[in-house]
Amino acid sequence: MYLRLIKSLKPYRGKFLLAITCMLFYSIFSLLSLGTIIPLLERVLGENETAAHQEIEPLPSHTDQPDCDVLDTADRSLIIQARQAVDEKMVLFLERYDGWHLLAVIAIALVGFAFLGGLCAFGRDYFMFYTAEGVAMNMRSILHRSLQSLSLDYFTSHRTGMLISRSTNDVKLVESSISIALANLLQQSLQVVVFLIAIFIFIPWQLALLSIVTAPFIALPIVKIGRKIRYISARSQEKMADIYSFIGETIFGAPIIRAFLMENYEINKFQNENKEFFNVIMKLAKRQTGLSPMIRLVATLGGVIIILYGGWLVLEGALSSALFIFFLLLFASLTGPFAKLSNVNAMIQQGLAAAGRIFKIIDTYPTVKNAPDAIPLPRIKNKICFSKVSFSYNDTEVVLKDIDIEVKAGETVALVGPTGSGKTTLVNLIPRFYDPTSGSIEIDGYNIKKVTMESLREQIGIVTQETILFNDTIYNNITYGRKDVSSRQVERAARIANAHQFIAKMSEGYQTSVGDRGIRLSGGERQRIAIARAILKDSPILILDEATSALDTESEKLVQDALRKLMANRTTFIVAHRLSTLRDADCVIVLDGGRIVATDRHEESQKRRANSKEWQCL
């Protein structure tokens, strides 16, 4: 998970490296700002001519135990040379300036370092924000692309609110974990490294080592509590997804809620969901807020020990007072980054948990996809055959069983039967929204599993019972999937669908926005727009899933006439709800319990249809 999230930074590695560079120089300028007080302390304390700047040999108690020196000779030689070089510059600096000049130089240096540090802070924040937003943008795009490639069974088994939460809230958590948490982690870590290097150069190594002894005690609670934070964060996001789903349902179902006077019920239900989310968040907050004081306590205890030991070195003459004060300032500056790391870790754990949920969706493979050797499907000429087709949504409840149908090109087939008999499921198998559990579907001898879904679906026009329109103009909704058409063709399709008349009455005509889900149109108007869309697509195969269910009697007659013209020389499957729909069908198939219980063709007796028990159930 860590590596995968880091790999997502690759497209923005240039900006990311610039941010790290700014962080490094910011830490250096912060150190130099603290270092400017050393000359002042040396002058005030009158120690500029003491031997405090000379190399500090091990204390007498350690001189007889050379093997206890954890630093090898080469490392110590480098530290000694660096320390001596700094000491020489310090002596020259103090000899060059008197009191007021020294104060002026220090003041100018402080302002200069603050200005340069501010520039570095700006660059750090800007480049990290650029990187984080870029990663979030790419992640949203990849997630949306993955959702578009998934089969419909994924959406029937996952809540809409959960998917929206993943695309919005979880992506925001990942963005924050980079722009804030990762930025702080790198900045504080670099500052710790830079300050520790300064401590090892200026301060006796025994005291320097003692200052980092507390690090393991600080890291332990961060790691241990961090695991719990990630787990609780995952739970909190699940609860947030529940809230997204609930709000979506109450908005979509607002008319029903008011019609049944269920406002108070929904309010109480939401309060319960909201309270559960609050409880989970408070568990998360308890661990996040408790970690920082714990780390500060450990750092303070370590600081007390260091002060005692450092004070003893000063009293013994092994360390100058100025350097000891400088060391205390550095150590105090280190406790801040360590304390911030606790909060940073909590945010990173939240980001990792969110990234895990996002990657889970991205890594989901569609159950319906092109075969490796899939070929384009030629335009239908002969027939569509269902051979022993069975289907189950969950591998337990059979929806369709042993369906055998042969439909010649240009025929119209009406599917009728009671609710839940499998009519819609059957027609959804044709464009491969789902694949049969067993059996096969062939078009002109081509198994639809062996042809590309693009070539299959471009030959199918669909009008569903639940009209689906997008928050766009009427024109763009009609031309959805067909951008290479003229305005005249769009108007012709609308006229055939009996939609042009009401469109022309609108102030903006075909450029009128239909609103979210077509909310600004009536049910019948939405349905006619969808029919116009199918007409414009001009597909050889039509699927009309109760396409006229939302129309009044007068409009239905007009649309039925238009559909008769449209269905000429096309292979059409009609999920019927009215007997009037059956009149022009070449074949009527009755489904019940997922099985075909009756089949009748146009040339057979109309009287038998009217008297048959299966037809009477309609």
Q: What does the pLDDT look like over 158-179, one tens digit per residue?
A: 887 788 888 888 888 888 888 8
Q: What is the pLDDT of residue 579?
A: 62
User: Which of 63-77, 252-266, 456-470 is predicted with the least confidence, judged by mean pLDDT?
Assistant: 63-77
Q: What is the pLDDT of residue 384?
A: 92
More confident residue, 187 or 344: 187
CA 63 – CA 134 distance, rounded (Å): 57
Fold designation for 383-616: Rossmann fold (3.40.50)
The CATH 1.20.1560.10 domain(s) of the chain lie at 2-362
The superfamily (CATH) of domain 2-362 is ABC transporter type 1, transmembrane domain (1.20.1560.10)
Helix 321-362 vs helix 215-252: angle between axes, to the nearest 10 degrees? Answer: 40
Task: Give the mean pLDDT of the chain.
Answer: 79
Percent of the chain, pLDDT > 90? 13
Q: What integer is the mean pLDDT of 566-579?
A: 78
Residue 465, C-beta contacts closer than 8 angstroms, at least 6 positions apart: 424, 545, 546, 547, 549, 575
Q: What integer is the mean pLDDT of 75-96?
A: 56
| Residue 510: alpha-carbon gap to chain centroid | 35
Q: Is the pLDDT of residue 296 over 80?
A: no
- Residue 49: count of CB within 10 angstroms of its CB: 11
Q: What integer is the mean pLDDT of 354-378?
A: 89
Q: What integer is the mean pLDDT of 236-265?
A: 77
Q: Is the pLDDT of residue 484 over 60?
A: yes
Task: Characterise 352 by phi-psi region: left (phi > 0), alpha (psi -120 to 50), beta (else).
Answer: alpha
Q: Is the pLDDT of residue 476 over 60?
A: yes
| Residue 94: alpha-carbon gap to chain centroid | 58
Q: What is the pLDDT of residue 20?
A: 94
Per DSSP (E only), the strands in 498-538 are: none
Q: Is the pLDDT of residue 64 over 60?
A: no
516-533: pLDDT as tens digits: 888 888 877 888 888 888
CA 137 – CA 12 distance, rounded (Å): 12
Please give the structure tokens belonging to residue 1: 């998970």
- Residue 535: count of CB within 10 angstroms of its CB: 26
- Residue 547: count of CB within 10 angstroms of its CB: 29
* Band (56; pLDDT cuts 50, 70, 90): very low
Q: What integer is the mean pLDDT of 66-79?
A: 48
3-state secondary structure of 123: helix
Q: Is the pLDDT of residue 451 over 90?
A: yes
Q: What is the pLDDT of residue 22?
A: 94
Between CA 562 and CA 569, with CA 566 as vertex, the angle to 5 degrees is 145
* Band (471; pLDDT cuts 50, 70, 90): confident
- Cβ–Cβ under 8 Å, residues 298 and 335: no
Q: What integer is the mean pLDDT of 80-94?
A: 56
Q: What integer is the mean pLDDT of 587-595?
A: 89
* Band (68; pLDDT cuts 50, 70, 90): very low
Beta bridge partners of 596: 591
DSSP alpha helices (H): ranges in 8-151? 13-35, 37-45, 60-63, 73-96, 99-149
The CATH 3.40.50.300 domain(s) of the chain lie at 383-616
Length of the chain: 618
Q: What is the pLDDT of residue 449?
A: 92
CA 543 – CA 574 distance, rounded (Å): 6
User: Which of 45-54, 113-122, 318-327, 333-342 is predicted with the least confidence, judged by mean pLDDT?
Assistant: 45-54
Q: What is the pLDDT of residue 66?
A: 42
Q: What integer is the mean pLDDT of 355-380?
A: 89
Tokens 């959804």 found at: 428
